[in-house]
Amino acid sequence: MGAPVSRGFPFLYKSMKNVFIGVCALLMVLFTAKLFSSEEPNRNVKKLYITKLEELIESLDALMKSVHSGNPDDLRNAYSESRKKFKSVEFLMAHIDHEFYLKNINGAPLPKLEKNVPERRIIEPSGFQVIDELIGEEDFDKTELLNHIENLRNKIQEMINYQRAFWFNDDIIARAVQYQLIRNYVLGVTGFDTPGTLQGIEDAASSVAGIQEFMMIWKSDWAKEAEKISSQQIKFLNKNNDFNSFDRLEYYKKYWQPHYSFWIKKFKNSGEDFWKEVPGMPIELNGKSDHLFSSDFLNKAAFLDFAFSDVNEKSIALGKRLFFDPGLSADGKVSCGTCHQPGKGYADGLPKSRAGDGKEFVDRNAPGLINALYAKAYFYDLRSEHLSQQFEHVIFSDLEFNTTLIDILKKLQSDKTYYEEFKNAFPAHANNPVNVFTFKSSLSAYITSLTGFDSEFDKFMRGENKGLSISAQRGYNLFMGKAACGTCHFAPTFSGLVPPYFNDSESEVLGVPSDTTYQKPDADDGRYNRRVLRETVDFYRHSFKTTTVRNTSVTAPYMHNGVFSNYDQLLEFYNNGGGTGHGLKVEYQTLAGDSLHLNKAELKDIEMFMRSLEFVPE
């Protein structure tokens, strides 16, 4: 019996090996045939794209000549031409390689730290926004300007070199259009993109025209349908291009939103999948929502570090019970709801929250929690990357819960009612329902339920009511324009969640004073002191998260230290240049130190707009 087996095994092995080699060879042939037979998609789109990048380089060469000439009119005209070329193709430039775009083409004119690297690597500002800021100065450094233009030119040439091999798939083009339309409204006409020249309105017109030109090549039938609304929008933008008087509300309702909605509905109803997602990696923007101020515009799942399927009625109810249960704290007196009270917009109305002992105070003001989900970092110093992580800081703090996760879990495991609620909310954890994951997830689920864009303002923008006061309408235009509030408090969250990808949260150095006498800046180092070595850079000293202005009507006092008790104090601070404008020495202040010159009536209008953003879910 043994001999046949010993002779047959090598034979079987050899046979299987030959089969395996044959299958691999067949697959290679099929793959190679597919590779060389597949026609590259949208070649004409790519051809136009490369042509436009080459034209952009030529315009930058002309811009450098105008700088050398020293003629202001030549410089202004050459720069305007470069921006037209840039904006006509920006939607693809920004989306094909967004990180490269932000680093080299059109990032904010401020130093930043590179993400996802272990060492401290500072990214110095470069690109169009830096150039725009220089050109906007009365007496700019010619050599510095030329260096920035030449660097930009070289970076665009790099894009041409490596993107010649890029395939322009349909989903890439569709997403690029969607993100660009958002960029035009939230970053363009607000002045974020053009901090020196404020020509974002003309930019938006160039961008819409550029998109329409590409769409005629990509989807000509759709583009022909969009031609009327595109041309009307361009006409409105070109006719009303004064930055301070531009009616951003009228533009939104009559032109921008119908145009955005048109393309989203086309993509959605086409039968093609333009919103492919990698499993387990949801995208922040809900591509199928056709309204900027709708509650489903952002994808909640993308702001959580666990599966959205774990957010359900049972986990939310459990999270709510945990949120208001003082029994979780060491002395049984403090709950999350102590500092985050529903009647106060989930804040507590104090400059700094009272400590667990009832005698001392914690270091900072308690922010409201409505729409707190929509962030990419939490706490004023951005120390937590995920919503679920922030609970640990409160639990371990000797001024707050003053306990441990182990002690909390022991309490919950010994409570029969809690045990059953955890088991029902998380059936996948039936064998051990009370654990760190289910505890954090249930609390996160409750916070996730505290979201919504259903304020008086949101409904007005969606055409669901006509009740927004004229004062609030004027205030919105000021907020998004002359007052420059919208360049840090980005729509639709009106926070530092950066559009159009909504995958980054910003912090700012404002020069917040220790009190309203403005004798000295507040001593809190903010982001600089978050105990992350790589972030101990000078430009993060006194830098704090840009929180939302939604529900500020019920979450006073304001700022991280609660220094401003009312709107008058808050708006006066911003109107007169923050800490620097009030005579404080604030290095690296990101808020402009000069006055906005807003009069009392304008400040009141901004207040009325901010009040119109109140919405507290039941």
For the stretch 140-173, pLDDT in tens is 999 999 999 999 999 999 999 999 999 999 999 9
In angstroms, the Cα distances linking 612 to 67, 341, 412, 476 are 46, 20, 41, 10
Whether residue 11 has pLDDT greater than 50: no
The span from the CA of 453 to the CA of 530, in Å, is 31
Mean pLDDT of 452-457: 97
pLDDT at 357: 86
Q: 3-class DSSP state for residue 60?
A: helix
Spatial contact of 197 and 132, defined as CB atoms under 8 Å apart: yes
Domains of the chain: 43-276 (1.20.1420.20), 303-449 (1.10.760.10), 481-611 (1.10.760.10)
Q: Residue holding tokens 């059936």?
A: 427
Percent helix, strand and coil across the chain, each to the nearest 5: 55, 5, 40
Amino acid at 325: D
pLDDT at 35: 40
Average pLDDT for the chain = 93
Residue 288 phi, psi dihedral angles, 5° rounding: -100, 0
pLDDT at 38: 56
Spatial contact of 377 and 384, defined as CB atoms under 8 Å apart: yes
**pLDDT tens profile 524-550:** 999 999 877 778 899 999 999 999 999
Whether residue 41 has pLDDT greater than 60: yes
Which residue blocks in 164-289 are alpha helix, DSSP H? 170-183, 200-218, 220-239, 248-251, 257-269
Spatial contact of 577 and 571, defined as CB atoms under 8 Å apart: no
| % of the chain exceeding 90 in pLDDT | 87
Please name every residue paired with 521 in a beta bridge, in sequence order, or none if there are none.
Answer: 513
- The pTM (predicted TM-score) of the whole model is 0.92
Whether residue 16 has pLDDT greater than 50: no
C-alpha of 384 from chain center: 16
**pLDDT tens profile 195-214:** 999 999 999 999 999 999 99
Q: Residue holding tokens 């004229």?
A: 470
pLDDT at 272: 86
**pLDDT tens profile 569-580:** 999 999 999 999
**pLDDT tens profile 23-32:** 554 444 444 4
Closest Cα partner for 174 from 301, 256, 272?
272
Bridge-based pairing state of the strands 112-113 and 122-123: antiparallel
Angle between helices 416-425 and 436-449 (to 10 degrees): 70
